Amino acid sequence: MRPKKKIQSKRQSSAGTVKTKLHPRSKHRDRYDFKALIESCPELAPFVVMNSYDDGSIDFFNPAAVKMLNKALLMHYYRIVEWDLPENYLCPPIPGRADYIHYMADLLKGSNRGKIPRGPQIKCMDIGVGSSCIYPIIGVKEYGWSFIGTDIDPVSVASAERIIASNPMLAGKVEIRLQRNAQDVFAGVLKHDEYIDLVVCNPPFHSSAEEARASTMRKLKNLKRQKVSKPTLNFGGQSGELWREGGVEKFLGDMIRQSKQFSTSCFWFSSLVSKQSYLKGVLDVLKKANAVDVRTIAMGQGNKTSQIVAWTFLDKKQQRGWVTRFA
């Protein structure tokens, strides 16, 4: 029988574990401090179960609990005072979204003599901002950047606009634009005389509703370790958020080809690539599009690893000229 002292030591070590796969500047590298989160968001309290070690958790199978945890994280770490989502819309895991923004700050830093550019003069575009407005919230709070968020879904647009209107921190720093043509990525939302320092995008994961449902069932089975017959989306999601005909590869192929039409309007285009198997195809399209510089960045949360792909069509001289705008 293992001595009691060793059990306590192991538990204490677990409670203090740092999530080393997350970005070094992430606010989420430590385990969730549920006491602090509840102080910031008392609505979280009914969803938290404390154990004998005074360590809390929530039921990640429960969509209401997941949404309330996200709300608490946004209130505690990002100065958000009001945040909500329409029913059954995507509730994104915040640590991973924050990592994407931090890695993009590093990308801009590499073009700016080792200094992260901060302030509203840094203009970003979030393709598919969603109802949660997560990337603009994090980018504004962490680096003071300004954002244009685009989406094809009027409900998501209205939700994002409500979040902006309800949070003074976002006032004047985030603009939401409805993309009226679902086949366009930049045309219709990015003007030809408009300049963007950075594009971020979290593309639809799946190629069909059936594939999205099957993926959800696998996730729920892993959470409950039992067979699930009816999928309940613990993170929610609508068709445009979770799937698009042709899947990730087609979406990214379209995005890359269309980005070339705006080659001098943006410094760095970027997107998440959810599976390593997609990466080669994406890089092939970028090569055919004659991207001048392409970067791949590995990003890990828990047992999952995603890739960020970033590209620019600006040559070195154009890049040097662009950076003067950062100051």
| Structure-block tokens of residue 115 | 């200094």
Sign of CA dihedral 172, 255, 240, 152: positive
The crossing angle, in degrees rounded to 10, of helices 94-110 and 63-78 is: 40
Taking the C-alpha atoms of residue 301 and residue 99, their distance in angstroms, rounded to an integer, is 9
Residue ranges per structural domain of the chain: 87-323
Taking the C-alpha atoms of residue 27 and residue 140, their distance in angstroms, rounded to an integer, is 15
**Superfamily of domain covering 87-323:** Vaccinia Virus protein VP39 (3.40.50.150)
Tens-place pLDDT, residues 172-187: 999 999 999 999 999 9
Q: Order of strands, edge to edge, in the sheet holding 174-178?
A: 174-178, 146-151, 123-127, 196-201, 266-273, 304-312, 293-301
Tens-place pLDDT, residues 36-92: 999 999 999 999 998 767 788 999 889 999 999 999 999 999 999 999 999 989 899
- Alpha-helical segments (H) within the chain: 4-15, 34-40, 63-78, 94-110, 134-143, 154-166, 209-224, 239-242, 247-259, 276-288, 316-323
Q: Tokens 């890695």 label which residue?
A: 103
Pseudo-torsion of CA 197, 171, 308, 32, nearest 10°?
Answer: 150
Taking the C-alpha atoms of residue 306 and residue 202, their distance in angstroms, rounded to an integer, is 11
pLDDT of the residue at 3: 37
- Alpha-helical segments (H) within 167-230: 209-224
Tens-place pLDDT, residues 129-181: 999 999 999 999 999 999 999 999 999 999 999 999 999 999 999 999 999 99
Tens-place pLDDT, residues 209-256: 454 444 444 444 554 554 433 334 444 544 444 434 667 889 999 999
Element (H, E) at 80: none
Are 252 and 183 contacting, i.e. CB atoms less than 8 angstroms apart?
no
Is the pLDDT higher at 27 or at 219? 27
Q: How many CB atoms lie within 10 A of CB 29?
A: 15
Name the pTM for this structure: 0.85
Buried b (16+ CB within 10 A) or exposed e, 260-272: bebbebbbbbbbb
Closest alpha carbon to 100 in 73, 126, 131, 66: 126
Return contacts of 134-137, CB within 8 angstroms, 24+ apart.
134/92, 134/94, 134/97, 135/97, 135/100, 135/101, 135/200, 135/202, 136/160, 136/164, 136/170, 136/173, 136/174, 137/74, 137/78, 137/80, 137/163, 137/167, 137/170
pLDDT of the residue at 154: 97
